[in-house]
C-alpha cells in the first residue's frame, strides 16, 4: 500500500502500516517534502525574461518562494547543485544562494537504476536522462512533491502516468509532479 496525505492538512504526510513495517514511518506533524528541480532555482535567480510566459513563471515561482516555501521541507539532489553551478559565474552565484535553504540529497545507485528504467522504457528520452534522475531522486527519497517548470520531459500530462507506472513497478511511490502555481495552497 502507498502512503497518502492526511485529510486534516494537505501538507502533513501519513505513512500507512506497510510503510511502517518497511521502516518508513515518520511523525504526522512533519512537513511534506518538495524536490526542487533545477528550473525552479533557475527561475528564482534569473533576470526577468522578455518572454511574457517565462516572466509569468518567474513571478509565480518568486511568489511561491516568498509565501509558501516555509510550509515545506525543501530538497534537491546533487544534480541540481551541479546544474546550478554551470554557466556564467554571476548567475551561478545567484542560483547557489537560493540553494543554501535547500537540503542536498546525494544520488545513489537506486536513483540511477530507476532513472535508467525511465530511459529503457522510453518514458524519458536518452538525451534527457538527467530529467529521469530528478524524478528518481524524488521517488527514491520518498518525497511528496517534485516541483518543476520542465514540461517537456517531467511535468507533461502525456508522460506523468507512464512515470508513475515505472516508479510503482520499481516499488516506489511517484511524487506529485507540479509547478509552483499548483502548490500555492488556498
Query: Model pTM?
Result: 0.83
pLDDT at 29: 55
Q: Which of 134, 142, 85, 86 is nearest to 112 (CA)?
A: 134
88 shares a domain with 46:
yes
Please write the tens of the pLDDT for every residue from 8-27. Answer: 333 333 344 444 444 444 44
Do 163 and 174 touch, CB atoms closer than 8 A?
A: yes
116 shares a domain with 37:
yes
Number of residues that this document lists for the chain:
186
Please write the tens of the pLDDT for every residue from 80-120. Answer: 999 999 999 999 999 999 999 999 999 999 999 999 999 99
81 vs 74: CA distance, rounded Å: 13
CATH classification at residue 100? 3.40.50.1010
* Domain count of the fold of the chain: 2
Which residue is listed with cell 536522462? 129
22 shares a domain with 69:
no
Host domain of residue 144 = 31-183
38 vs 144: CA distance, rounded Å: 17
Amino acid at each position: 500500500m502507498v502512503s497518502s496525505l492526511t485529510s486534516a492538512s494537505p501538507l502533513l504526510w501519513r505513512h500507512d502500516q506497510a510503510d511502517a513495517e518497511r521502516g518508513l514511518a515518520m511523525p504526522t506533524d512533519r512537513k511534506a517534502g518538495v524536490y526542487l528541480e533545477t528550473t525552479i532555482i533557475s527561475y528564482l535567480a534569473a533576470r526577468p525574461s522578455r518572454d511574457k510566459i517565462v516572466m509569468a513563471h518567474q513571478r509565480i515561482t518568486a511568489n511561491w518562494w516568498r509565501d509558501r516555501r516555509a510550509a515545506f521541507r525543501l530538497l534537491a539532489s546533487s544534480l541540481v547543485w551541479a546544474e546550478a553551478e554551470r554557466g556564467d559565474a554571476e548567475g551561478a552565484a545567484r542560483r547557489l544562494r537560493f540553494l543554501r535553504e535547500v537540503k542536498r540529497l546525494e544520488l545513489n545507485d537506486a536513483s540511477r537504476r530507476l532513472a535508467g528504467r525511465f530511459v529503457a522504457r522510453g518514458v524519458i528520452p536518452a538525451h534527457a536522462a538527467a530529467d529521469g534522475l530528478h524524478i528518481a531522486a524524488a521517488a527514491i527519497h520518498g518525497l511528496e512533491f517534485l516541483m518543476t517548470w520542465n514540461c517537456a520531459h517531467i511535468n507533461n500530462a502525456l508522460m506523468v502516468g507512464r512515470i508513475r507506472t515505472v516508479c510503482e513497478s520499481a516499488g516506489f511511490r511517484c511524487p506529485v509532479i507540479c509547478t509552483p502555481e499548483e502548490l500555492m495552497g488556498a
